[in-house]
Structure 1
Amino acid sequence: MILEFFSSPVGIAAILSFFIGSFGYVIARMWVQPLLRYRLLKSRVRALMAAMENLPGDTDTQALPGQEIRKTAAKLTDCYNKTLPQWYQLMLSNRNESPDTAVADLMALANVKDRQHATKRIANIRLALKITPKNEKG
């Protein structure tokens, strides 16, 4: 009875659907979700850098989003070291994109007291992550 079902066209279609679904699930969970998470974190860093640059020059250092920068840096480190596939990490290193360097500069930026130092850190973060400002193409 069972063998007849699996040898029929409907049974073969069920078996194929099961294996294709399983393969799709693995691809989605192991590759697509981590890559999307990394890209979202990278865009969050871009937004934080734009917010830091758009603050007025006389802004008190307490108004800087230090806590948010630290949280984003921690999430970026976790994503890069624990969830990104090894092949994507290699691709990032081939592109000279270094999230670890960016995280070090993000942590330093969260504690910065001088606005001139913040500008230097922002430039280093953009260089490390290959981020361009939203108003520029690239």
Structure 2
Amino acid sequence: MLKDKNNDLLYLLSLIESLEKIMLYSKDSKTPESFFDYNDQINFNATLALLLHIGETVGKLSDDLLDKNPEIPWEKMRGLRHRIAHDYIALDIVIIFDVVKNKLPDFLSAVYAVTVQRLHEGILNSEELNLAVGSRYYKHIDFKRLKGD
């Protein structure tokens, strides 16, 4: 798809869903080792796959959205995707854990905030948002947070 701001809502929702899943998958882990080992590494590996997806999705957001929100570390998320994709074996679980626990919560909040702002400004289509509510693909999104409820 082209980098068209008409597609931004879909990509923002995908980002939020992926970020919320990572928060869920990592919530009980207190150390990098416990996160890596938990559930036979399923949660860790799922997190890596979601981080790859997040980096890819950021690359699909419109230039308008990216340019108007330079305070959000979009490029760092894309860079992390490249690091995971091209250096999987040498990934440092301490760094991944730090990103998950200390960087992603702020990134998630920023993505929620930019989504709410752009919905409020009418840049994003609220009818499309209403269609996404209740979708099994977006079951981890806090739609009340997006609608200001």
TM-score by length of 1: 0.47
Q: Which has the higher contact order (CA 8 A, sep 6+)?
A: 2
TM-score by length of 2: 0.44
Larger radius of gyration: 1
